[in-house]
Amino acid sequence: MVVTALVGAEGAAAHAIVVSATPTDGVVVAAAPRGAVITFDSGVRVGPRNAAIRNDGTSVIGGPARITDGRTLVIPFRTNLGQGNFTVRWSVVSQDGHEEEGLIAFGVGRSATTPFATLTTSPTVTWERVVMRWLFLAGTLLAAGLAIFAVVVLRPLQREHQLARPLANGAFLGLALAFVGADALAHAKGVGGTRFELWVSCATIVAGAGAAAAALAPRLPALRYGAYGAGVALLAAPTLSGHALDSSQAAVLSPVADVLHLGAAALWIGGLGGLAMTLPRVDPSSRAAIVRRFGAIAGPALIVLVAAGASRALTELASVSQLWSTPYGRTLIAKSALLTSALIVGTFARRRLASGGRPRRLIGVELGLLAIVVLAAGILTDLQPGRAGARHATPSNAPSLLDIPVPPPANAYVDAQELGPYAVALAFDGSRAQVTVAGSDGTAPADITVLLDGKPATACGRGCYSTVIHGTRLQVTINGTPLTFTLPGELISGSDLLRATTLAYQALRTVTVRESLASLANNAQITVFREQAPDRFGYEITAAADRSIVGTSGVVLGKERWDRIAHGAWTHTTQSSPVVPFADWTAAARNIYEADDGTITFYDPSFPAWFRLRIDPTTHLPSELHMVGAAHFMTHSYSAFNEPISLSAPS
């Protein structure tokens, strides 16, 4: 059974394999990531079903998914995710046209429970795709096999010209099937721009031209050679569009074995079709000669079929046990059992032919079994090969909650600044200062030297340093680079002012927000948001270190969303309706104190992040917000309160 299973390995098509993912599935991270980053072992394109949600169903996707370096999918999140559980569904199309999906469930912060996915994925095998592939493969094998049968079997016996009409009719049937299947596959959703689309589109043209030649061959007999050539040329399409050219495959062995396997299968299937169409039309002596010549060729072809299939199986299976432990292996066994049955039926048919009989029924049964074998091959192309399934995504270095710097104590004045990749936060209770340092991953960096007012700091926990305060300023020096905090003369609560500002802001009809978001001092991204209550907004990236995304924009009208990258084509998706305007802080904000007239500072553990908010004392509306978090340094400038805004669907 192992040997026969190896025979059936033809047709496996490449699946892009995840080699790394951040965040990893099931992880609870300290700080909210800016997006999901999934890297594959080969080239991919953005699929149609990328999504990111909070597990209550609220969309948190912050823009259109994009591909970087050809094989890394980036799904951006909205800023300020807060704590909780989230689910990401990634969707890509591999270079051989496979639409693939996966799920990542992760949590953020101490309030997260054990992460679990609340989105679902679509099945990798659909009957629509299987039927498309069956039409393409069956038509290709029939057309190519008839061409080989005509040239290698009939022509040396000087019977090809006599049987030109039935051969042309058979070639037309095969090429027409291949044309319909290839055209459907080339226009399948999501395959645009892939290697699969390129070669299947070429196959569509070749099959269409060949079918036209076969249709005209009864009037212009020479055109049958064009149909033969088209059939043989189609044999290259499954190899050029499929798994054999994947980067993980042997550069020479895989494509050569693939073509040989397809050619041998074509000779078997097309040869049987040729026998069924030609034998009733010739005399007994010619019939015997055709059977003998086909038998002499079919034996070596069967050896090639087994050898090429075995070499392909060796590249698809990581172990023999995967024959029964994976869907791919079990389908391979079923296909091999059908092939074995067809071989047994074919042996009886050839014996009856050799004795002068006419085993039409046996040939029909054999062709029927082989048609089911091709159907199984169509299923195999959409299943993940065993070797691919044996490879796992490498874990990311996600921070443990045990590594998160300690939060500020209650009732302390807080402030924060960025220093290179570090978020440096201050907590001051009137006599003693506590300084917290968080790295870009949200954890306490272990390789830094911290001085407070020029003196070695006293450790007070993870990433925590403290000192007694003797004035109204504190200089913090990290690895030789200083920054200064100004301390209030007295602690004055700003809770009422923040509450009034939250209510005033969220009661606005319209507002424009200019956002500067960075993880370092030199990589800020500027985005302008125009928001219209209750559920409409537009955005545009006006500046970024990565100039390729400048011009990226979007419009959200309730549940309808349109996004485009850098003035490209619009992509339409649906989502849960947003609520705008909505404050960038949450009700969990604490340590709320006045820093000076019209400015308050506070800490929000939902992110976690430190905020400095400047407020108009007359309107209680915010004018500027500065947020410092792990790898998140954000500034919001607010303007155009209640001024008219026009938002509409892109035309």
Query: What's the per-residue H, E or C state across 347-386?
Result: HHHHHHHHCCCCCHHHHHHHHHHHHHHHHHHHHHHHCCCH
Tokens found for residue 157? 């016996």
The reported pLDDT for the residue numbered 576 is: 66
Q: Where in the chain is the domain with CATH 2.50.20.20?
A: 495-639
- List, for the chain, all residue ranges whose pLDDT scores fall below the cut of 70: 1-15, 30, 96-97, 109-114, 123-125, 189-193, 243-251, 309-329, 346, 349-360, 362-363, 378-405, 440-442, 519-522, 575-576, 606-607, 630-631
The reported pLDDT for the residue numbered 441 is: 62
Max Cα–Cα distance, the chain, nearest Å: 115
- Which conformational region is residue 212 in: left (phi greater than 0), alpha (psi within -120 to 50 degrees), or beta? alpha
Reply yes or no on domain 18-108 having CATH 1.10.10.10: no
Residue 454, classed as helix, strand or coil, is: coil
- Which conformational region is residue 373 in: left (phi greater than 0), alpha (psi within -120 to 50 degrees), or beta? alpha
The reported pLDDT for the residue numbered 13 is: 41
Burial letters 351-366, b for 16+ CB under 10 A, else e: eebeeeeebeebbebb
How is 18-69 classified by DSSP, letter by letter? EEEEESPTT-EESS--SEEEEEESS-EEE-S--EEEETTS-B-B-S--EEET
Question: Tell me: the pLDDT tens digits for 358-413?
Answer: 656 766 777 777 777 777 776 666 666 555 544 443 334 444 443 456 788 889 99
- 495-639: CATH number: 2.50.20.20
Angle, vertex CA 332, rays to CA 311 and CA 309, nearest 5: 20
pTM score of the predicted model: 0.50
Let me know: does 322 contact 390? Beta carbons within 8 Å: yes
- Which conformational region is residue 190 in: left (phi greater than 0), alpha (psi within -120 to 50 degrees), or beta? left
Tokens found for residue 79? 């800023």
Q: Where in the chain is the domain with CATH 2.60.40.1220?
A: 18-108
The reported pLDDT for the residue numbered 264 is: 84
Report the Cα 293 to chain-centroid distance in Å: 50
Half-sphere exposure of 632 (CA within 13 A, CB side): 26
The reported pLDDT for the residue numbered 385 is: 59
Which secondary structure element, helix H or strand E, spans residue 624, and what is its range? Answer: strand 622-629
Measured between alpha carbons, how far is 588 from 376 in angstroms, rounded to an integer? 57
Query: Which phi and psi angles does 8 have, rounded to 5°?
Result: -95, 15
Give me the residue label for tokens 């299976």.
Answer: 317
The reported pLDDT for the residue numbered 2 is: 33
Burial letters 299-323, b for 16+ CB under 10 A, else e: eebbebbbbbbbbbbebbbeeeebb
The reported pLDDT for the residue numbered 416 is: 93
Question: Tell me: the pLDDT tens digits for 434-482?
Answer: 999 987 666 778 778 899 999 988 888 878 899 998 889 999 999 999 9
